[in-house]
Amino acid sequence: MSNLLLETERLFLRPPAQEDAEAHAALMADPLTAQFLTLDGQPQPPMIAWRTWATLAGHWTFRGYGFFSMIDKKTGRWAGRAGPWYPEGWPKPEIGWAVHPDFRGRGYALEAAIETAGWAFKTQGLSDIVSLIRPGNAQSRRVAEKFGETKTGMVELFGGQSEVWSLTKAEYERLWGGQL
């Protein structure tokens, strides 16, 4: 796992590392991020953000895959997280994304979603994936639409509703790169 590195035009994608924890804490302290990613919709203090980061890193041990750290090639800075995620209680494996405020609006979420989904389809034997998006999260909805996902339903998570956006492996291959 420590040698795994995916690359896009503008990003390096690698499993989470301890040195990413501070930048992840800054992401989770951001009110816009917290509105859609935390259980209570409130920014996470550093101690809770660290535990969240440890959970994301631990997912790799339990499932063999997980969120990748997005590293901006130009600056070398941590730009966010993206990739496959399938915690207990999720309806299916998810491709998720969260972009650090300093890097929003550059298309990094879509770029990372395309690359990490391709990796997940190829290496994890998945036939389809979902993205779970809270209502009102227009930015993530736009990423899902550009990614080729379609809204297929709703699911209750942590006492609230989330939209289910779906993409099959065959749809991914048609949109983003032929046979995996």
Rounded to an integer, what distance in angstroms lies between the CA atom of residue 105 and that of residue 59? 28
- Is residue 70 pLDDT above 90, yes or no? yes
All structural domains of the chain with their residue ranges: 6-176
Q: How confident is the model at residue 180 (pLDDT cuts 50, 70, 90)?
A: low
pTM: 0.95
Q: How far apart are CA 149 and CA 168, in angstroms?
A: 9
CA-CA-CA-CA torsion sign (50, 26, 72, 93): positive
Number of neighbours of residue 76 by Cβ within 10 angstroms = 9
Query: Could you tell me the pLDDT band of residue 158, with boundaries at 50, 70 and 90?
Result: confident
Among 76, 132, 141, residue whose Cα is nearest residue 103: 76
Note the pLDDT tens digit of each residue in 50-69.
Answer: 999 999 999 999 999 999 99
Residue 179 has pLDDT above 80, yes or no: no
Q: Is 107 helix (H, G, I), strand (E, B) or coil?
A: coil
Give the model confidence (pLDDT) of 76-134 as tens digits. 999 999 999 999 999 999 999 999 999 999 999 999 999 999 999 999 999 999 999 99
C-alpha of 65 from chain center: 12
Nearby residues of 138 by Cβ (< 8 Å), 6 or more positions away:
none
pLDDT at 1 over 70: no
Q: Where would I find the beta strands (DSSP E) of 77-144? A: 78-85, 94-99, 128-133
Taking the alpha carbons of 137, 138, 139, 145 in that order, is the dihedral positive or negative? Answer: positive
Residue 34 per-residue DSSP state: H
- Which one is the CATH code of 6-176: 1.20.140.10, 3.40.50.980, 3.40.630.30, 2.60.40.1120? 3.40.630.30
CA distance 132 to 120: 17
Q: What is the mean pLDDT of residues 149-164?
A: 94
Burial of residue 12 (CB within 10 Å: 0-12, 13-18, 19+) is middle
Is the pLDDT confidence value at 75 over 70?
Answer: yes
